[in-house]
Amino acid sequence: MPQFEPVLLANVGKPESHTLKVYESTGGYTGLKKVLKQMAPVQAIEMVKSSNLRGRGGAGFPTGLKWSFLPKDHPGPIYMCINADESEPGTFNNRILMEDDPHQVIEGIIVGCYATKATTAYLYIRVEYPRSYKRLQMAIDECYAKGYLGKNILGADFSLDIFLHRGAAAYICGEETGLIESLEGKRAWPRIKPPFPAVEGVFRKPTVVNNIETMACVTQIARRGVDWFKSIGVPSDPNNPRDPGSYGPKLYCLSGHINQPGCYEAPLGITCRQLIEEYGGGVWKGRKGKAAIPGGISMGLLTEAEFDTPLDFAGPGKVGCLGLGTAAVVVMDETTSMIDFLHNSCRFFSHESCGQCTPCREGTHWSLSMLERIKAGKGRLRDLDLLLEIGDTIGIIPGTTICGLSDGAAWPIKNAIRKFRGEFEEYIKRTNPTGHLETKAVPALPILAGAH
Amino acid sequence: MSTATHTRILTDEMIAEIKAFFPRYPSRQAVTLPALHVVNEKLRCVPLQAVVEIGELLELPPAVVQDTLSFYGYFKQDAPHGETRAWVCRSISCALRGADEILDHMCKVARMHPGECSPNGKLTIEFAECLGACEMAPCMLTGEVLHKDLTKESAERFVKDLIGK
Ligand SMILES: Cc1cc2nc3c(=O)[nH]c(=O)nc-3n(C[C@H](O)[C@H](O)[C@H](O)COP(=O)(O)O)c2cc1C
Ligand code: SF4
Ligand code: FES
């Protein structure tokens, strides 16, 4: 099968691809010029709305619709926050865009700010990305020199500044209101919504938060048009008038037990198996697959039998996963212990919970404690039901917490235990032959501390 | 810890660097993280006295700055981290390729626990969550350098070079 001709990654890997010179020589900033010359801001929003572009940061919310929630005729300022906190385990496509094609991202930001009438954009970038930070700052400097940023951009009645803002190694800063709080100089405690950021965001002003890859898509929509974008991917379900479909190209990240890990561009809707076989060269060491994370660890697990699931916005949900998430696929081979997988996931979320909501703070902590105990050969069958009880009750879906981190913590628990229960039971019985039926409370084991 | 001394910690250079951020934001408080980064880059930690001085610059009570700092485990307070701060990723893509074993091995070779600094001040080893470089797993970040496809051997060499064994 012929591989898809990359668009978002077209420049990646070319010499000097991060420079304005190379970017302009491949059509860079023509989309921006078209928008500024031919469209009023409302028409630019309309363009993105009619493309059905959905956010690439994890939630898949339609971008044009989000922009249209901004109050009309607001005296300003309106802010744009670009989310480059990219910390979802398995995910690295934003890094590749920022390092190798920063101008493609910046062009989209400028178009987005023109459409939303934002006059300042803050690009919140995780501190773990020093190279992206440098490349973006270089690109921003080039843009000021060339008149793509600053006052009266390309002679239009539109001015914009972009500032980079570095995070400090906390996953929760990627949640949009955690990001806003962190940007304001506070602890990154997500806010209770409503009000949504479009009404009251950073510095209590209307704010749009969008992902890096989303902005790269905006660039390509401005350059190539809505029809081009909608010619790729999976159309809306004709029986569901509210389904926005899954249009456009997508950057899939592939890692774990795979022959060729990497970031691959494909139309939305390829299956997990196609990604593994046709792009990743198959499971490593000639082994068989056992499971895969479909879109960052928060999304849960596909079993090998579910590898034919299409990785579009609707696919993973149909087999019990949380969603497409960041489309970061992490492959696990047949030798992988699901106990180890779940331990790793629980450890991550316990470390990253911001601690505001009791169900999330305690639930992530106790699920890790139970997994530590199971791994140490002191597990009880009852622990599996306790874990499922936590999994079923923490999150914004059951309605017990402020943000979606806890849904992300819950899904791996629910999927791992429900899809691989036999393996968990067998492990517990084998490693704790005398105590696995114990139902009385048993003490927790200490957990490794001691880093940032 | 000598919190009683009131010799200034922030140099003129740091203050100028922090003030350069003011025009970017409509609030002084938003300069908190940039200011913490400025100090941390120079001192490899942010002592309490620096928090007080940042508070003065940003017109905030020191407790407000400290509240923010304490949320981000990134900023050390009591003692500087080593000249090299090694972040060994332990998240899923790296763990599937042996990251936990590599972190254990590095700590054993260095005779340190994660989070500690070597006696010669050259190396702090810490675990990190996903570094966004999963295609290069298992990996480690030291400042601006990303070490990819780590093995026990390459990690051991790295540690020994720094702690001088
Ligand atoms: C715990 C948590 C972490 C998140 N991390 C990120 C992130 O690192 N990058 C990102 O773009 N979105 C992240 N999101 C999603 C954002 O809240 C938000 O939906 C997104 O930035 C919106 O941009 P988009 O519409 O362009 O996707 C996270 C959400 C949650 C609940
Ligand atoms: S759900 Fe968890 S991470 Fe989100 S706000 Fe509550 S405690 Fe914090
Ligand atoms: S899991 Fe280690 S870099 Fe992503």
User: DSSP string spanning B8-21?
Assistant: --S-HHHHHHHHTT
A330 contact B CB<8A: yes
CB A52 within 8 A of CB A62: yes
Residue of A nearest to B131 (CA): A128
CB A414 within 8 A of CB B90: no
CA B112, CA B105: separation in Å to the nearest integer? 10
CA of B89 to the centre of ligand 3 (A): 6
Ligand nearest to the CA of residue B89, numbered in listed order: 3
| C-beta separation of A279 from A266 below 8 A | yes
A17 burial via Cβ count (<10 Å: 0-12, 13-18, 19+)? buried
Nearest CA in chain B to A165: B34
How far CA A190 is from CA of A62, A212, A219, A397, A403, in Å, comes to 21, 20, 29, 16, 7
Report the atom number in ligand 2 closest to the C-alpha of A364. 2
Are A185 and B31 an interchain contact pair (Cβ–Cβ within 8 Å)?
Answer: yes
pLDDT at A35: 98
Q: Which residues pair with B123 in a beta bridge?
A: B84
Contacts of residue A169 in chain B, CB cutoff 8 Å?
A: 72-74, 128
Closest ligand to the CA of A171 = 1
Q: How far apart are CA A345 and CA A364, in angstroms?
A: 10
Contact A452 B93 (CB under 8 A): no
Residues 6+ apart with CB under 8 A from A88: A58, A171, A174, A296, A297, A298, A325, A326, A328, B130
CATH architecture of the domain B12-71 equals Orthogonal Bundle (1.10)
Residue with tokens 């989209």: A108
- CATH of region A338-431: 1.20.1440.230
Whether A91 contacts chain B with CB within 8 A: yes
Among A161, A185, A351, beta carbon nearest to B29: A185
- For A449, nearest residue in chain B (alpha carbons): B114
Asked if B92's CB is within 8 angstroms of A345's CB, the reply is yes
Which one-letter DSSP state was computed for residue A283?
B
A340/B116 CB distance under 8 A: no
Strand order in the sheet with A262-267: A262-267, A249-256, A328-333, A289-293, A302-303
Q: CB distance A451–B133 less than 8 Å?
A: no
The sign one gets for the Cα dihedral B64, B67, B72, B77 is positive
User: Which residue's alpha carbon is at the smallest distance from atom 6 of ligand 2?
Assistant: A357
- The residue of chain A nearest to residue B40, with distances taken between CA atoms, is A168
Neighbours of A54 (CB within 10 A): 26
- A-chain residue closest to B35, CA distance: A185
Ligand 2 atom 4: residue of nearest CA: A403
**How large is the angle between the packed helices A405-419 and A421-431, nearest 10 degrees?**
80
Structure confidence by residue, pLDDT tens digits, A376-396: 999 999 999 999 999 999 999
Annotate A217-249 with b (16+ C-beta within 10 A) or e (fewer): bbbbbbbeebeebbebbbebeeeeeeebbbbbb
**B26: which chain A residues are within 8 Å (Cβ-Cβ)?**
77, 203
Pocket flag, ligand 3, residue B38 (CB < 6 Å): no
Is B4's pLDDT higher than 70? no
Q: How far apart are the first and last CA of chain B?
A: 31
Taking only the tens place, the pLDDT of each residue in A205-220 is 999 999 999 999 999 9
Of A91, A166, A297, the CB nearest to B132: A91
- Minimum-distance CB partner of B68 among A94, A187, A293: A187
Token couple for A12: 């990646």
- The alpha carbon of A328 and the centre of ligand 3 are apart by a number of angstroms equal to 11
The position carrying tokens 């968990």 is: A424
Q: Integer distance in angstroms from the first to the last C-alpha of chain A?
A: 46
Pairwise CA distance, residues A337 & A349, whole Å: 19
- List per-block mean pLDDT (blocks of 10 residues) for chain A, which spans 452 residues: 84 96 97 98 98 97 98 95 98 98 98 98 98 98 98 97 97 98 98 97 98 98 98 93 95 98 98 97 98 98 98 97 98 98 98 97 97 96 97 97 98 98 98 91 69 59
Q: For residue A62, is the peptide bond before it cis, meaning its omega torsion is within 30 degrees of 0?
A: no
A451 vs B contacts (CB less than 8 Å) = 73, 114-115, 126-128
Q: How far is CA B43 from the centre of its chain?
A: 10
| Residue among A274, A268, A277, A254 at smallest CA distance from A315 | A268
Residues A316 and A294: beta-carbon distance below 8 Å: yes
Q: Is A399 exposed, middle or buried (0-12, 13-18, 19+ CB in 10 A)?
A: exposed
How remote is the C-alpha of B111 from its chain's centroid?
A: 20
Please report, for residues A83, A391, B64, B141, the alpha-carbon distance to residue A97 in angstroms, rounded to integers and kept in the order given: 13, 34, 36, 19
pLDDT at A449: 61
Say if A340 is an interface residue toward chain B (CB within 8 Å).
yes
Nearest residue, CB atoms, B74 vs list A86, A163, A168: A168
Cβ contact B72–A89 (<8 Å): no
Check whether B150 has a pLDDT greater than 70. Answer: yes
Please state the length of chain A: 452
Would the CB of B140 count as within 6 Å of ligand 3?
no
Q: How far apart are CA B43 and CA B73, in angstroms?
A: 16
pLDDT digits (tens, 9 = 90+) for B66-98: 999 999 989 999 999 999 999 999 999 999 999
Q: Tokens for A143?
A: 């843009």
Q: With CB atoms and an 8 Å threshold, state whether B24 touches A163.
A: yes
Phi/psi of residue A289, each to 5°?
-80, 155
Structure tokens at A31: 């989309």
Q: How many whole angstroms from A447 Cα to the centroid of ligand 1?
A: 29
Strand runs labelled E in A36-160 = 79-84, 120-125
Is B84-163 a domain of CATH 3.30.1950.10?
A: no
A252 three-state secondary structure: strand
How do beta strands A79-84 and A120-125 pair? parallel
Where in chain B are all domains bearing CATH 1.10.10? Answer: 12-71
**Which chain A residues are within 8 Å of B144, Cβ to Cβ?**
130-131
- Compare all CA atoms of chain A with the CA of B63 and give the residue at the minimum distance: A186
Q: Cβ B129–A256 below 8 Å, yes or no?
A: no
User: Domain extents for chain A?
Assistant: 20-231, 246-333, 338-431
Q: How many CB atoms lie within 10 A of CB A78?
A: 20
Ligand 1 site, residue A214, Cβ cutoff 6 A = yes
Q: Where in chain B is the domain with CATH 3.40.30.10?
A: 84-163
Q: Which two tokens stand for residue A311?
A: 């990785």
B91 lines ligand 3 (CB under 6 A): yes
Alpha carbon A170 to its chain centroid, in Å, reads 15
* ipTM (interface pTM): 0.95
Topology (CATH) of A20-231: Rossmann fold (3.40.50)
pTM: 0.96
A184 contacts B27? CB cut-off 8 A: yes
- Residue A185 is nearest to which of B30, B131, B135, comparing CB atoms? B30
Q: Which pLDDT score, from 0 to 100, does residue A375 have? A: 97
Cross-chain Cβ contact A90/B92 below 8 Å = yes
3-class secondary structure, B136: helix
**Dist CA B18 CA A285 (whole Å):** 52
Distance, C-alpha A369 to centroid of its chain: 27
Tracing tokens 């006052």 back to the chain, one arrives at: A151
The topology under which CATH files domain A246-333 is: Ubiquitin-like (UB roll) (3.10.20)
